[in-house]
Amino acid sequence: MEMGVQAVFGPTDPLLGAHIQSICEALDVPHLEARLDVEPHTREFSVNLHPSQHLINTAFKDIITFLNWTRVAIVYEEEHGLFKLQELVKSPPNSRIDMYIRQTTPATYRQVLKEVRQKDIFKLIVDTNPRHMSSFFRAILQLQMNDYRYHYMFTTFDMETLDLEDFNYNNVNMTAFRIVDADDPGVREALRQMERFAPIGHHIINSSGVIQVEPALMFDSVQVFARGLLAMEAASVHGGGGGGPSAASLPGVQAPQPALRSSNLSCDLEKPWDDGLSLYNYINTATTQGLTGRIQFENGKRSNVKLDLLKLKQSKLRRVGHWVSGRGVNITDPSAFYGQQRSNITLVVMTRTEKPYVMLKEDRNLTGNARFEGFCIDLLKWIASQVGFHYAIRLVPDHMYGVYDPASKQWNGIVRELVDKRADLAVASMTINYARESVIDFTKPFMNLGIGILFKVPTSQPTRLFSFMNPLAVEIWIYVLAAYLLVSFTLFVMARFSPYEWNALPNCQVQGRPEMVHNQFNISNSFWFITGTFLRQGSGLNPKATSTRIVGGIWWFFTLIIISSYTANLAAFLTVERMITPIENAADLAEQSEISYGTLEGGSTMTFFRDSKIEIYQKMWRFMENKKPSVFVSTYEEGIKRVLQGNYAFLMESTMLDYAVQRDCNLTQIGGLLDSKGYGIATPKGSPWRDKISLAILELQEKGVIQMLYDKWWKNTGDVCNRDDKSKESKASALGIENIGGVFVVLLCGLVLAIIVAVIEFCWSSTRRARNDRKSLCTEMGEELRFALQCFGPRQRPAVKRCNMCHYTTPSYVPGTNIDIQTLPHHGLGSLGSRQGSGLCPGLQQVQQGPPSPLSHAMEMVTFQPADS
């Protein structure tokens, strides 16, 4: 003061500024401030270029009213922060608004924001120190409070100087006011002058080329002081009083000889400066255009303030309106707050052709979007009409979805186009996975799917001539044959041992007691009994002993189960078409090497096997990677073609698999799905369209639109293979000779065998008769053959002599009597005569005396028939 100062500028510290203000007020020295003064009352000799807190609170009220906020969280950091916003808290824009107020520090940013999130408050007014703003932004990102639901309104005027790169394209709402218009010509000129004096003025501006508020207000303070001095000097030249009208607005005014006396003040003396009040009045009435806009004062406070409203849009803050004291808020870009008005925006949509998602129409004269059709094209039309945008469809140059190359550390295909920002959307059969999600964004999935195995329909099992034997396995037939032999011999042996199977011969009783008995179950009859019962036919033989009946009953039960099981299975084996399926699932593929298998090159299925940690999938990947020639295909059509050629399995998405299977009856799906994933619409990282399109997809799913489009392109295209009709035709087909021809073969073989046995019997019998009758073999065979070929010949003939001793006597016989030679006594043959009471059977006569004849051991039967009369 003792140096003759005429004004004091600053400081920005509130406490020090209040102390300086009291000194200036005591000495009548003008005090020009460039800080926010929280004191509501007016101070003498003080001129503040910073908009008052009352004006700032009024601006916040107006914007809150415009946005119709009902729940707001106020987060402040400095101790006087609540004083700054107390007017907003005490008198909110409307009585319905609910405010949640919390003080915070850099150490408690996350905690406070977490509390706000837990209370479901999405509108925040943030009053933090700009130097700590990076920490606050980091807390927002860590808590993922950066989506379209959240709206942050910052009180700082230096929002443009902050780094907002982490919030680009993520649709979060960030709003702030500014007082320095970077597009103003005066501001641009000041920037150029500051850059000339670098590095002196470099700290005032930042890399964005925006002047911070504090130096801009200080610059304007100096300019206002100069205007006041000029006005005061001009008034003294023209005889104007110290409190007269200002001449500062007159351009080209020359500075006259100094009329101001030096203050020569001292803090020890209470004598004020004589010209201080006059200079203060001229400064207070000065009007000029500064870096912070039009400058005008009322009672030392700034009036008629204009604030630009900024909002984060995509990658930078943009001016969307302004606020003027006394007039309120004026929004020049309503679409910044209400996204419905976007119909004039054209988005570049990247895709690739893939049936039935995206296909080129056959008409080559079409251009633009009209060239394409398919499921994704129809879905894009629905989403565009609902969200509100136009689109231009482009095909990806390399025809790839996108896979990461570790060698070059680059992505290809559609993913590369989105990463390089050459496309706004990607609408195709594009799978959502972790690798892609790390570099681009996906909407909610519009279709869920998994990886399936496409394979050629297995060929029908060739029909065998003896297919009637298929109902039972080969080992079962062997067991049945073994059981047949075992039971037959068991029955024969048990019948020999059991006394109840030996029965008396007719007319062979002496004094009412049987002299001779016979057994009906010789070896041949035993086999015949077992055969007849097995084939459900009678044999004319019935067991009489309990043991043999048990054997017969158990055999009947056994044959009942076997025949019933055979009959039940026979119908299925002869009518159902059986397929030869070499593989059933992915494990079968991995365990063999004859059938090749592969995936679409550069697709998500290939990435799935390449990055899988499951052993079986790793084994499959090693096979596919090392197989020569390559098992990977460039298109789905190529993969389907290789499947139809045979000996190849194609691993593909289940939706594409269903489309192929429904259009070609020679294709089928093997096993279940190997994983679960979804198709989504891809956007660049942080795109504002992701959440809007996700909401549209959810709405279309709820309305059934997506299912309708699926049915349209998968089931209702007219080229669907009708498997039901083919199955019905197969089931209704009659049995052919190839199914049951083996039965006829068995029948013919049986007849041939019977004829061969009959010929052998005929020859053997003729040989014995020729020897006994002392005739030539040809004569005997001729007589027998002539007799056998007499179709209408007699039914009776002379009995055949069975031994050399029987032709010496003409025996008497009982017609129709059968005598088993085995039943004769071992001491000799009984008489075959007709003597009565001789101890032999009536009608039989002794034909041999002496030692037993070997004939007595023969197992044969002699039949006596009445001679022709």
Using the predicted structure, report yes or no on whether residue 840 has a pLDDT greater than 50: no
Q: How far apart are CA 432 and CA 444, in angstroms?
A: 9
Q: Are residues 64 and 15 in the same domain?
A: no
In one-letter notation, the amino acid at residue 814 is: V
Residue 284 confidence (pLDDT): 85
Residue 389 confidence (pLDDT): 87
> How big is the chain by its Cα radius of gyration, in Å?
57
91-116 pLDDT, tens digit each? 777 767 888 999 999 999 999 999 99
With beta carbons less than 8 A apart as the criterion, state whether 66 and 319 touch. Answer: no
pTM above 0.75, yes or no: no
Note whether residue 323 is domain-resident: no
**Nearest Cα to 693, choosing from 436, 342, 457, 419?**
342
Using the predicted structure, report yes or no on whether residue 480 has a pLDDT greater than 60: yes
Sorting pLDDT into bands at 50, 70 and 90, what band is 576?
Answer: low
Q: Are residues 507 and 571 in the same domain?
A: yes
306-340 pLDDT, tens digit each? 999 999 887 788 899 999 988 888 888 877 775 54
Sorting pLDDT into bands at 50, 70 and 90, what band is 790?
Answer: low
Residue 461 confidence (pLDDT): 61
Note whether residue 566 is domain-resident: yes
**Nearest Cα to 217, choosing from 33, 18, 29?**
33
Sorting pLDDT into bands at 50, 70 and 90, what band is 393?
Answer: very high
From residue 282, alpha-carbon distances to 83, 220, 245, 286, 821 in Å are 31, 15, 8, 6, 163
Give the DSSP letter of residue 94. Answer: S
Sorting pLDDT into bands at 50, 70 and 90, what band is 135?
Answer: very high
Q: Which residues contribute to the annotated binding site for L-glutamate?
A: 431, 436, 604-605, 653
SS3 848: coil
Q: Are residues 666 and 695 in the same domain?
A: no
Higher pLDDT, 203 or 764: 764
Say how many domains are in the chain. 6
Q: How confident is the model over 466-484, as a mean pLDDT?
A: 82
Q: Who contacts 127 (Cβ-Cβ below 8 Å, separation ≥6)?
A: 74, 75, 76, 77, 78, 81, 84, 85, 154, 155, 156
In one-letter notation, the amino acid at residue 656 is: M
Residue 265 confidence (pLDDT): 66
Residue 263 confidence (pLDDT): 60
71-90 pLDDT, tens digit each? 899 999 887 777 778 778 77
Q: Are residues 164 and 232 in the same domain?
A: no
Residue 842 confidence (pLDDT): 41
Residue 579 confidence (pLDDT): 56
Q: How far apart are CA 185 and CA 212, in angstroms?
A: 16
Domain end: 660, 675, 690, which one? Answer: 675
Residue 163 confidence (pLDDT): 85
Note whether residue 457 is domain-resident: no
Using the predicted structure, report yes or no on whether residue 798 has a pLDDT greater than 90: no
Q: Can you give the residue range of the structural domain that contains 261?
A: 8-51+211-304
Q: How far apart are CA 25 and CA 559, in angstroms?
A: 127
Domain end: 178, 202, 228, which one? Answer: 178
Q: Are residues 93 and 163 in the same domain?
A: yes
Note whether residue 334 is domain-resident: no
Note whether residue 495 is domain-resident: yes
Range name among 299-303, 507-511, 618-622 with the lowest pLDDT average: 507-511
Sorting pLDDT into bands at 50, 70 and 90, what band is 854?
Answer: very low
Range name among 277-286, 496-505, 662-671 with the lowest pLDDT average: 496-505
506-535 pLDDT, tens digit each? 666 555 666 676 778 888 888 888 888 888
Q: Are residues 85 and 166 in the same domain?
A: yes
Residue 93 confidence (pLDDT): 72
Sorting pLDDT into bands at 50, 70 and 90, what band is 426?
Answer: very high
Using the predicted structure, report yes or no on whether residue 749 has a pLDDT greater than 60: yes
Q: Are residues 68 and 43 in the same domain?
A: no
Higher pLDDT, 784 or 358: 358
**Nearest Cα to 727, choosing from 547, 457, 375?**
457
Residue 381 confidence (pLDDT): 94
Note whether residue 325 is domain-resident: no
Higher pLDDT, 42 or 460: 42
* CATH number, domain containing residue 258: 3.40.50.2300
Residue 440 confidence (pLDDT): 92
Range name among 164-173, 606-615, 730-739 with the lowest pLDDT average: 730-739
* Chain mean pLDDT for the chain: 77
With residue 758 as reference, give the H or E element that holds it. helix 737-772
Q: Are residues 656 and 557 in the same domain?
A: no
Q: Are residues 58 and 47 in the same domain?
A: no
Domain end: 620, 655, 675, which one? Answer: 675
Q: How far apart are CA 628 and CA 633, in angstroms?
A: 13
Q: Who contacts 330 (Cβ-Cβ below 8 Å, separation ≥6)?
A: 321, 322, 323, 324
Using the predicted structure, report yes or no on whether residue 650 has a pLDDT greater than 80: yes
Report cis status (omega within 30 of 0) of the bond before 199.
yes
Q: Which residues contribute to the annotated binding site?
A: 431, 436, 604-605, 653
Sorting pLDDT into bands at 50, 70 and 90, what band is 255?
Answer: very low
Q: How far apart are CA 201 and CA 813, in angstroms?
A: 153
Q: How far apart are CA 304 and CA 833, in angstroms?
A: 160
Q: How far apart are CA 603 and CA 402, in angstroms?
A: 7
Q: Are residues 84 and 171 in the same domain?
A: yes
* CATH number, domain containing residue 709: 3.40.190.10
Range name among 152-161, 420-429, 707-716, 732-741 with the lowest pLDDT average: 732-741
Residue 2 confidence (pLDDT): 62
Range name among 78-82, 164-168, 362-366, 528-532 with the lowest pLDDT average: 78-82
Structure tokens at 574: 């002869």
With residue 323 as reference, give the H or E element that holds it. strand 316-324
Higher pLDDT, 588 or 793: 588
Using the predicted structure, report yes or no on whether residue 632 has a pLDDT greater than 80: yes
Q: Are residues 58 and 171 in the same domain?
A: yes
Most confident listed range (205-209, 361-365, 649-653, 765-769): 649-653
- DSSP assignment of 168-180 equals TTS--EEEEEESS
Neighbours of 757 (CB within 10 A): 10
Note whether residue 245 is domain-resident: yes
% of the chain surpassing 90 pLDDT: 15
Residue 737 confidence (pLDDT): 54
Sorting pLDDT into bands at 50, 70 and 90, what band is 754?
Answer: low
Q: Who contacts 165 (Cβ-Cβ below 8 Å, separation ≥6)?
A: none
From residue 186, alpha-carbon distances to 111, 182, 225, 794 in Å are 43, 9, 18, 146
Q: Are residues 559 and 605 in the same domain?
A: no
Note whether residue 734 is domain-resident: no
Range name among 51-55, 709-713, 781-785 with the lowest pLDDT average: 781-785
Most confident listed range (150-159, 198-207, 272-281): 150-159
Using the predicted structure, report yes or no on whether residue 716 has a pLDDT greater than 50: yes
Residue 707 confidence (pLDDT): 92
Residue 396 confidence (pLDDT): 93
Q: How far apart are CA 660 and CA 653, in angstroms?
A: 11
Distance of CA 27 to the CA centre of its chain: 80
C-alpha dihedral (441, 445, 450, 454), degrees to nearest 10: -100
Most confident listed range (82-96, 244-258, 389-403, 545-559): 389-403
